[in-house]
Amino acid sequence: MAAKPTRIVTWNINSVRLRLPLVLQMIDALQPDVICLQEIKCLNEQFPADALAEAGFPHQALNGIKGLHGVATIARQPFLATDARSFCGKEDGRHIMAQLADGTELHNFYIPAGGDIPDREANDKFGHKLDFLEELTDWWTARQAEPGLKAIKVGDLNIAPLETDVWSHKQMLKVVSHTPIEVDGLNGTQAALDWHDAVRHFIPPEQNLYTWWSYRAKDWSAADKGRRLDHIWVTPPLKDALVGAGVHREARGWDKPSDHAPVWADMRLA
């Protein structure tokens, strides 16, 4: 009998302490093995570690920051190793790596949102985002010398790369998250290790798919002006391990929700 696939969920929770009940609700709904959270918005010592351990996730890798950002990866099974990397000279809690039992590296990212103006000169936040992508590309490029690297990259990458990843390609071309320069930057990071989009492996690029809907829309589901900002990628050695993937859209409609929905992928890890 084949081993049960490992289910990995990534979710920008937008404050893990405020939305702990939703994390527990998601656990009941999706039965994940590993959970990667972004924007936990708390220091490591403030993370609801005991509650999540009691829910079946005692193994926790945290990179928390006071009041903003922060990422956490939690699992049912122990990690072989953990590590955190800083980008652009900032200690702002945007990355955590946890090595799974089979040796696979699981990289959890919160890429800078980039502010509102898609102009480096007029908006430092946008410049930071572009610099982050460039530095990330350089890092992955340097790892091309590691043949057979098994790695998974997940998180809120804050870019919707495909035309079908936004509700209106034409109207979004000058909106931060879908501008050509951001998409080019994200594509560069993807090409550096030939990352494979796990979700689009199962949901074709021709089909509209979103993971984020603004709080500003009173009836977000009917308006459906979404963007696919949250992603799961795998390196080539894991492509054939993929079993399924999707977006748990229902979570966007839960009580006091995050503006992001959980994204999941199942894979058979040796």
2 pLDDT band, cuts 50/70/90, is low
For the stretch 195-213, pLDDT in tens is 999 999 999 999 999 999 9
Whether residue 63 lies inside any domain: the answer is yes
Instruction: Name the domain count of the chain.
Output: 1
Sign of the alpha-carbon dihedral angle for 33, 38, 44, 46: negative
Whether residue 176 lies inside any domain: the answer is yes
Q: Is pLDDT of 188 > 90?
A: yes
For the stretch 224-242, pLDDT in tens is 999 999 999 999 999 999 9
Containing structural domain, residue 27: 6-267
For the stretch 7-27, pLDDT in tens is 999 999 999 999 999 999 999
- What's residue 20's pLDDT? 98
For the stretch 54-67, pLDDT in tens is 999 999 999 999 88
Whether residue 90 lies inside any domain: the answer is yes
Nearest to 110 by CA among 49, 162, 69, 63: 69
pTM over 0.85: yes
Share of the chain above pLDDT 70, in %: 99
Average confidence score pLDDT of the chain: 97
Whether residue 124 lies inside any domain: the answer is yes
For the stretch 41-54, pLDDT in tens is 999 999 999 999 99
Whether residue 1 lies inside any domain: the answer is no
Q: What is the CATH number of the domain that holds 255?
A: 3.60.10.10
Q: Is pLDDT of 221 > 70?
A: yes
* Interatomic CA distance for residues 9 and 231, integer angstroms: 10
Q: Is pLDDT of 175 > 70?
A: yes
Write the secondary structure of the chain as one string of H (helix), E (strand) and C (coil). Answer: CCCCCEEEEEEECCCCCCCHHHHHHHHHHHCCCEEEEECCCCCHHHCCHHHHHHCCCCEEEEECCCCCCCEEEEECCCCCEEECCCECCECCCCEEEEECCCCCEEEEEECCCCCCCCCCCCCHHHHHHHHHHHHHHHHHHHHHHCCCCCEEEEEECCCCCCHHHECCHHHHCCCCCCCHHHHHHHHHHHHHCCCEECCCCCCCCCCCCCCEECCCCCCHHHHCCEECCEEEEECHHHHHHEEEEEECHHHHHCCCCCCECCEEEEECCC
Whether residue 240 lies inside any domain: the answer is yes
- What's residue 84's pLDDT? 98
